[in-house]
Amino acid sequence: MDRMSSSENSVDEMKDLMKQMLENSKCQPSTQQISQELWNSVQPILAAQRELAELNQNKHMELIRIMIEARYKDTRAYIRGIK
């Protein structure tokens, strides 16, 4: 009889654990929800990186424009000096 009640207790404990696991799994967010939260948290970082890249490109292009204009003026002055 003692073995029987011990087995029944073990089965009852296993059932309780299974119920707890089932309830816990229902409380966890789905992979789609996790993915959406991750995407929402990464979006501002990506936007800031794009903005920084654009600013750096504009700065770089401005420096190239200044360099080309300076070279043009130097070449024009050199040609005028030859004439």
What are the tokens at 22? Answer: 């089932």
pLDDT (tens, 9 = 90+) of the chain, 83 residues, equals: 566 677 777 778 888 888 888 887 777 778 888 899 999 999 999 999 999 999 999 999 999 999 999 999 999 999 888 87
* Residues constituting the chain: 83
pTM, entire model: 0.53
Task: Show the DSSP H helices in the chain as ranges.
Answer: 2-27, 31-82
